């Protein structure tokens, strides 16, 4: 769906991460955790840059008709977006893509977030908590000042363990070093089987995938890819996957994903 939304609020969360809240009932009404919007980042009246930028839905409130995006400045498009002001209008398409499937009854969601990858997982955790499912979140950041959205998740009632690479907050190391420990803790406390949800940098996703394949734990990961159309037409975002019958084929991250069952990923 192609829409125009009004920016209600825009603020910096850290040095380079921004939160943008949009009045956009057309997206808020049907948004599912793991879906994204494709945002035109050019200044009003300009078409440069031409390509939209995909951003995950970090939160959506159906009753207010609002959607929140949380993004890190990495290049020209996100820098332009960070310069937009409340009350301006913005052009977007969405919600797009196949989001996360809810865990099966009795399973405990273990949510593994790496850096800005926590954005779609925030929406997932909110949705799970609203139906009485408590996720166990392990969230990794480079350092304490990069930490985002953790306070909010704790406030909503999620159990969150922070891991920083430099040890400046929480446990020290990489988030993937703590997956096994978190799974064991879940098993010993709730006796429930774990289902894993993850979003983060490629190296983290590869480690998560290996852990899931070794342990047999069911996992869903949200993947990133450079995107052009965002509608499934250009094939610019394809990824090799394995089908139920064992054959390999290409699927589009924008519409067949961005969330994939880890067992289906061949290369990422």
Ligand X SMILES: Cc1cc2nc3c(=O)[nH]c(=O)nc-3n(C[C@H](O)[C@H](O)[C@H](O)COP(=O)(O)OP(=O)(O)OC[C@H]3O[C@@H](n4cnc5c(N)ncnc54)[C@H](O)[C@@H]3O)c2cc1C
Which residues contact ligand FES by CB under 6 A? Answer: 227-230, 232-237, 252, 254
Partner that binds at residue 150, options ligand FES, ligand X, none, CB closer than 5 to 8 Å by kind: none
83 DSSP assignment = T
Tokens of residue 209, six digits: 């995938």
CB of 13 to ligand X, least distance (A): 11
Cβ 25 to ligand X shortest distance, Å: 20
Q: Which listed option, ligand X, ligand FES, none, makes contact with residue 76 (CB within 5 to 8 Å by class)?
A: ligand X
Per CB under 6 A, the list member of 121, 227, 239, 265 interacting with ligand X is: 227
> What is 199-260 written as a DSSP string?
ES-HHHHHHHHHHHHHHT-EEEEE-----SSSSSSS-TTEEEEE-TTS-EEEEETTTT-BEE
Q: Which is nearer to ligand FES, 133 or 223 (CB)?
A: 223
Q: Facing residues of 33 across strands?
A: none
Give min distance, CB of 187 to ligand FES, in A: 38
Could you tell me how far CA 172 lies from the centroid of its own chain?
23
Task: Report which of 91, 88, 95 is spatially closest to residue 57, judged by C-alpha positions.
Answer: 95
By DSSP bridging, strand 108-114 and strand 53-56 are: unpaired
Which of ligand X, ligand FES, none sits in contact with 258, Cβ below 5 to 8 A by type? ligand X
42-81 binders of ligand X (CB under 6 A): 53-56, 70-72, 74-78
Query: Which partner, ligand X, ligand FES, none, binds residue 53 by CB below 5 to 8 Å per kind?
Result: ligand X
CB of 180 to ligand X, least distance (A): 27
Q: Is residue 174 near ligand X by the rule CB under 6 A?
A: no
Angle formed at CA 30 by CA 29 and CA 34, multiple of 5 degrees: 130
232 binds, among ligand X, ligand FES, none (CB under 5 to 8 A by kind): ligand FES
Per-residue DSSP letters for 168-185? SSBEES-GGGGHHHHHHH
Beta strands 171-172 and 66-72 are: unpaired
Residue ranges binding ligand X (CB under 6 A): 36, 53-56, 70-72, 74-78, 116, 119, 224-227, 258
């Amino acid at each position: 769906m192609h829409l125009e939304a009004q920016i209600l609020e825009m603020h910096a969360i850290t040095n380079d991460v921004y939160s943008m809240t949009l009045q956009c009932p057309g997206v808020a009404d049907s948004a599912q955790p793991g879906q994204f919007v494709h945002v035109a980042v050019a200044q009003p009246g300009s078409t440069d840059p031409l390509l939209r930028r995909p951003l995950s839905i970090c939160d959506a409130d159906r009753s207010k008709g609002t959607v929140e995006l949380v993004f890190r400045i990495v290049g020209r498009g996100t820098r332009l977006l960070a310069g937009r002001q409340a009350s301006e209008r913005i052009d977007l398409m969405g919600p797009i893509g196949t989001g996360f499937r809810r865990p099966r009854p009795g399973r405990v969601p273990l949510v593994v977030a790496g850096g800005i990858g926590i954005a779609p997982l925030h929406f997932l955790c909110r949705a799970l908590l609203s139906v009485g499912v408590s996720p166990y979140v392990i969230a990794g950041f480079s350092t304490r000042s990069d930490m985002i959205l953790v306070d909010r998740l704790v406030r909503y009632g999620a159990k969150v363990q922070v891991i920083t690479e430099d040890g400046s907050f929480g446990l020290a190391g990489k988030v993937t070093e703590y997956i096994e420990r978190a799974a064991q803790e879940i098993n010993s406390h709730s006796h429930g089987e774990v289902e894993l949800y993850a979003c983060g940098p490629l190296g983290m996703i590869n480690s998560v995938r290996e852990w899931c394949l070794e342990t047999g734990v069911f996992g869903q990961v949200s993947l990133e890819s450079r995107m052009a159309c965002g509608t499934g037409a250009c094939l610019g975002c394809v990824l090799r996957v394995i089908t139920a019958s064992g054959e390999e084929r290409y699927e589009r991250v924008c519409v067949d994903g961005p969330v994939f069952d880890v067992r289906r990923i061949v290369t990422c």
